């Protein structure tokens, strides 16, 4: 429960005129027509209630005797205010600091999260990125002091820098000394008579800044990289939080990832599969010569060493594994058909027969990729 004298920012022996002046000054600042903020509205209610009590001699006398305490009830009506009020009376408001120790305006800033999308090639080699981050940065005008240049915080004249005030109230248990955060300085022990106009007395402003980061090879979708101290600056120039970079890897048209290996499918004509050939394919880090032996079968996997992904914690690259897909022609002219028929007669190939069951070509390729 806030102390009415603290709310109005006056001493306990203040005269009626001083109480009236304090109320008028605060009312002009906090009236909803002038300051529509929710915090200002709540403070305006507290100020109004405090003035209603202290401006009436009878209510003020009862309040000074503890009639408006949690034990006496608002306006001197009897009844206990519940366990929360009792604890507040003995130990101060919830969340308040220990007696004699004011709050610090400087607090650690919040962590920030930035999402970045990478190509598969970036994952193979790692990449440098400059990221634009919209976050809180130190106010250049006041450098985190929260004050207009040339001014500084002043010691609160209500709590005298302690950040909390003590009051003695009479209750059913006798005189009880309570300690609560000072309502005039909000527990900081100091007030800022001239807040910085740039940051509105916060010591920080919102701004866009650029963060440079070297993203290592081997990252994968969902991985978060932590940059300590690169997040938001705290209130009053407090220490920065951390910045987290969340990675998403875009699908590639020709390659896919299997651990540290890269997978690809190579389409081979029937004649090249029969006779064998040498070809050049474009890997993610340049052209690679690939030799197909004569009689290569559909579903065979050719391994090219050290053309895969560098692991996140290691130096030995994975492999590039290429699955062979033999393409059977679907349109033949008369001469081509005759040649094929002649070839069939000469080779006397066995008739079609049932063989070991497979889940189709792609399942066969997948299994061979994993087991090769």
Binding-site residue set for Zn(2+):
139, 142, 156, 159, 182, 185, 196, 199
Neighbours of 55 (CB within 10 A): 14
Q: How far apart are CA 271 and CA 274, in angstroms?
A: 5
Instruction: Provide the token pair at 330.
Output: 């679907």
Left (φ > 0), alpha (ψ -120 to 50) or beta: where does 295 sit?
left
Residue 297: HSE in the Cβ half-sphere, 13 Å Cα cutoff: 6
N-terminal to C-terminal alpha carbon distance within the chain:
74
Annotated binding site: 139, 142, 156, 159, 182, 185, 196, 199
Neighbours of 133 (CB within 10 A): 18
Note whether 232 and 135 are within 8 A (CB): yes
Q: How far apart are CA 116 and CA 329, in angstroms?
A: 44
Note whether 48 and 32 are within 8 A (CB): no
Query: CB burial class (10 A; 0-12, 13-18, 19+) of residue 226?
Result: exposed
Rg of the chain in Å (alpha carbons) = 39
């Amino acid at each position: 429960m806030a102390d009415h004298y603290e709310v109005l920012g006056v001493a306990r022996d203040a005269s009626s005129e001083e109480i009236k002046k304090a109320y008028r000054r605060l009312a002009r600042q906090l009236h909803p027509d002038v300051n529509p903020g929710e915090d200002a509205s709540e403070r305006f209610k507290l100020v109004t209630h405090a003035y209603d009590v202290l401006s009436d001699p009878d209510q003020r006398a009862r309040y000074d005797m503890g009639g408006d305490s949690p034990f006496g009830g608002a306006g001197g009506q009897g009844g206990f205010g519940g366990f929360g009020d009792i604890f507040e009376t003995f130990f101060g408001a919830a969340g308040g600091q220990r007696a004699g120790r004011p709050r610090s305006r400087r607090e650690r800033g919040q962590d920030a999260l930035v999402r970045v999308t990478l190509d598969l090639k970036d994952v193979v080699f790692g990449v440098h990125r400059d990221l634009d981050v919209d976050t809180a940065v130190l106010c250049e005008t006041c450098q985190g002091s929260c004050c207009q240049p040339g001014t500084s915080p002043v010691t609160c004249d209500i709590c005298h820098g302690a950040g909390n005030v003590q009051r003695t109230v009479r209750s059913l248990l006798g005189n009880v000394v309570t300690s609560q955060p000072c309502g005039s300085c909000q527990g900081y022990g100091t007030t800022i008579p001239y807040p910085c106009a740039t940051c509105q007395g916060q010591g920080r402003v919102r701004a866009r800044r650029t963060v440079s980061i070297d993203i290592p090879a081997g990252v994968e979708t969902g991985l978060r990289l932590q940059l300590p101290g690169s997040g938001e600056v705290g209130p009053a120039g407090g220490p920065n939080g951390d910045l987290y970079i969340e990675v998403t890897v875009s699908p590639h048209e020709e390659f896919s990832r299997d651990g540290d290996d890269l997978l690809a499918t190579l389409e081979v004509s029937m004649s090249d599969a029969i006779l064998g050939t040498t070809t050049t394919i474009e890997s993610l880090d340049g052209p690679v010569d690939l030799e197909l032996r004569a009689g290569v079968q559909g579903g065979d996997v050719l391994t090219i060493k050290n053309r895969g992904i560098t692991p996140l914690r290691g130096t030995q690259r994975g492999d590039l594994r290429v699955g062979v897909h033999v393409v059977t022609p679907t349109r033949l002219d008369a001469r081509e058909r005759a040649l094929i028929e002649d070839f069939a007669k000469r080779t006397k190939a066995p008739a079609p027969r049932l063989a070991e069951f497979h889940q189709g070509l792609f399942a066969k390729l997948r299994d061979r990729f994993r087991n090769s």
